[in-house]
Amino acid sequence: MKRILLLVMVSLMTMVSSAQAEERETATFAAGCFWCMEHPFDELPGVISTTSGYTGGFKDQPTYKEVSAGATGHTEAIQIVFDPVLVSYEKLLEVYWRNSDPTTANRQFCDVGSQYRPGIFYHSAAQQQAAEASKMSVQQNKQFREDIVTEISKATTFWPAEEYHQDYYLKNPVRYKFYRYNCGRDQRLQQLWGGSHE
């Protein structure tokens, strides 16, 4: 009897786990230094995890040294796992725009090169449609003169960055804030979007 109850409990737990997994979605964004993109999304209710990494390139298992040298075609990015019941993809897009400079094709703030290009990498037709609509809305309603150059493309393999890059803003808060300030990130975001950041 105990064995049957145990099997039933394991079966129910597996069903619940599968249902929870089905409710999760993935989003991938690039906006320069991945350290600076984790924090804004980690604060959102419904975001399950953020991972710094590399996407959009041609080399398997790229390293930070290779990507930062611009040798692999990748851009620094973050991958977000989220519960769409609690936070919509459209909300993630809003947060993304306000934490990026969409006016520079191969640069974000003080970081220069294609490895820092801004991009939205969609995982479904619905995400593609939402991203394109969002980009059009930003283009039509922006307060700055420059055009929006952020690329929208299909998500390809995402390679997680080395462990020391993950949650860098939590592990190394002083270095993180020093980098962020000296890179002029918040100053430029304020100029583009107004309001406060970080």
Reported in sequence order, the residue ranges of the chain that DSSP labels E, i.e. its strands, are 25-30, 47-55, 75-82, 107-108, 111-112, 119-122, 151-154, 159-160
20-29, 106-115, 131-140: range with lowest mean pLDDT: 20-29
Q: What percent of the chain has pLDDT over 70?
A: 87
**Domains, the chain, ordered by start:** 23-193 (3.30.1060.10)
50 close to 99: Cβ distance less than 8 angstroms? no
Segment 18-42 shows an average pLDDT of 88
Buried b (16+ CB within 10 A) or exposed e, 99-114: bbbbbbeebbbebeee
Segment 24-31 shows an average pLDDT of 98
- Just list the catalytic residues: 33
The whole-model pTM stands at: 0.87
What the block records as the tokens of 171 is: 């592990």
How far apart (Å, rounded) are the C-alpha atoms in residues 128 and 130? 5
- The predicted structure's pLDDT at residue 195: 75
